[in-house]
Structure 1
């Protein structure tokens, strides 16, 4: 996936193309900005916190997808931090 495609494609279209399921997470910690994972079926999912602005959700989703698909994007500025779990 190219950086341009990741950043320019409308998010609903991008999620459909990639067969990624996005849902509201029940995690209420204000420092949690989202997670990307893989189900046992192989399908990717995005867990995004409720109550965030459309801009924040869109930006977070694209950043997490970049991590999952190894798309080269600059790191997010502090205080944001990403952690990879095996």
Structure 2
């Protein structure tokens, strides 16, 4: 997966590691004004990317992605964008800043 904008966005004070890991994903997206869309990228191994667009967070995820993978990757991307520390992703996943 790729993170298109490496500079973190200042998180709201309640966005802690615990909140990022435990809150339902739709709630997190709503709280942060973030949008999750399906990407047109179909390359093998691609799971998603995050970027800022018009002051909002945009998460683009692979079409047909398993629900658990999508949830985990979305939280990792949000944590990275917000500068919230999270445990490392399991192999073979990794975040790459471009």
TM-score, L = length of structure 1? 0.90
User: Please, which of 73, 76, 82 is the counterpart of residue 89 of structure 2?
Assistant: 76
1:2-13 counterparts in 2 under 5 A?
2-13=16-27
The 2-side partners of 1:55 and 1:83 are apart by 20
**Segments ≥4 residues shifted beyond 6 Å:** none
Corresponding pairs, count? 84
User: Who is 1:45 aligned against?
Assistant: 58
TM-score, L = length of structure 2? 0.80
User: Which stretches in structure 1 are left out of the alignment for 5+ residues?
Assistant: none
The higher relative CO (CA closer than 8 Å, separation ≥ 6) is in 2
User: Who is 2:43 aligned against?
Assistant: 29
The 1-side partners of 2:59 and 2:75 are apart by 10
Larger deviation: 29-38 or 71-80?
A: 71-80
3-state DSSP of counterpart to 1:46 = strand
The 1-side partners of 2:57 and 2:29 are apart by 10
